[in-house]
């Protein structure tokens, strides 16, 4: 089964889960995580605040806080995302795209040996990850005409520090990073040259950063990404 079919199957299974089932599975995963030697050895935990049907992490993060471990979660600052120390699970509110974030501008986390909790659609027993498929290789082909290809140069837009960090700490291949995450591009517009120049003027007039990141060539309704994380 290819990844696209696998993602569809897993999404259907997750959508059928009741809130009680999600909570029960999350409690079991939390129990296993707290018993892990990796957790015991870690002085800090870089986690995430759960959103939609993600594994509920609050019990684990609270346990880490109670035991004196440092706890950090992501927070978006303009066009960057950083791990920020969290001192209380009460000091959060919906932030970027409605995802919970720390309220205060606490110090940026700085533990290179922290235990990292990475969200994903699914993981196998060996720890191999299936991402959500919200990135370049799955989304862009949906709008490409047959016989075309999107060629993107990832050197053309800023590489946020969080993405090399996740790739390194999670042991994720560059292609899988671009398959799973947008890696710093909040929106991708595909249009002819004349309209592209007009779009640039409009976006710049409202102080939105604009990057010309690639071109459409002949191909098989697919995507090629070069530079960026492939150079890390």
Euclidean distance between CA atoms 102 and 90, whole angstroms: 9
What was the pLDDT predicted at 226? 93
Q: For residue 99, which phi and psi values (nearest 5 degrees)?
A: -80, 135
- pTM equals 0.59
| Domains 3-116 and 133-231 alike in fold | no
More confident residue, 51 or 129: 51
What was the pLDDT predicted at 1? 65
What is the residue-wise DSSP string for 148-204? EEEEEEGGGS---THHHHHHHHHT--HHHHHHH--TT-S------HHHHHHHHHHHH
pLDDT of 132 strictly over 70: no
Residue range 115-137: mean pLDDT, rounded:
73
What was the pLDDT predicted at 28? 94
pLDDT of 102 strictly over 70: yes
| CB count in 10 Å sphere of residue 229 | 22
| Paired tokens of 16 | 């059928």
Q: Give me the CATH topology for the region 133-231.
A: Phosphoribosyl-aminoimidazole Synthetase; Chain A, domain 2 (3.90.650)
Residue range 103-131: mean pLDDT, rounded:
78
Mean pLDDT (the chain, rounded) = 86
Percent of the chain past pLDDT 90, that is, above it, reads 36
What is the residue-wise DSSP string for 84-124? EE-S-TTSEEE-GGG-EEESS-PPBP--TT-EE----SEE-
What was the pLDDT predicted at 124? 74
pLDDT tier at 10 (50, 70, 90 boundaries)? confident
In the chain the first and final C-alpha atoms are separated, in Å, by 30
Q: How is the chain split into domains, by residue range?
A: 3-116, 133-231
Euclidean distance between CA atoms 116 and 169, whole angstroms: 7
pLDDT tier at 169 (50, 70, 90 boundaries)? confident
Q: Give me the CATH topology for the region 3-116.
A: Rossmann fold (3.40.50)
pLDDT tier at 60 (50, 70, 90 boundaries)? very high
Q: What residues have CB less than 8 Å from 172, skipping those under 6 apart?
A: 129, 166, 180
Residue range 165-169: mean pLDDT, rounded:
85
212 three-class SS: coil
Q: Residue 18 carries which DSSP code? A: -
Going by C-alpha positions, the residue among 169, 76, 75 that lies closest to residue 114 is 169
pLDDT tens digits, one per residue of 195-232: 888 888 998 898 888 999 999 999 988 899 999 999 88
């Amino acid at each position: 089964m290819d990844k696209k079919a696998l993602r569809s199957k897993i999404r259907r299974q997750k959508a059928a889960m009741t809130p009680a089932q999600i909570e029960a599975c999350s409690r079991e995963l939390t129990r296993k995580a707290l018993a892990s030697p990796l957790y015991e050895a870690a002085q800090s935990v870089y986690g995430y605040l759960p959103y939609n049907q993600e594994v509920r992490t609050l019990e684990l993060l609270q346990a880490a806080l109670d035991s004196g471990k440092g706890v950090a979660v992501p927070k978006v600052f303009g066009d960057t995302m950083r791990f920020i120390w969290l001192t209380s699970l009460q000091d959060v509110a919906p932030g970027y795209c409605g995802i919970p974030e720390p309220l205060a501008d606490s110090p940026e986390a700085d533990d290179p040996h922290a235990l990292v909790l990475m969200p994903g659609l699914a993981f196998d027993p060996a720890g191999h990850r299936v991402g959500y498929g919200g990135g370049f290789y799955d989304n862009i082909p949906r709008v490409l005409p047959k016989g075309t290809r999107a060629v993107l140069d990832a050197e053309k837009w800023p590489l946020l520090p969080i993405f090399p960090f996740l790739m390194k700490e999670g042991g994720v291949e560059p292609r899988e990073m671009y398959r799973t995450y947008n890696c710093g591009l909040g929106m991708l517009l595909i249009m002819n040259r004349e309209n592209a120049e007009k779009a640039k003027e409009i976006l710049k007039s409202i102080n939105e950063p604009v990057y010309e990141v690639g071109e459409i060539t002949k191909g098989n309704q697919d995507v090629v990404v070069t530079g960026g994380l492939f150079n890390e």
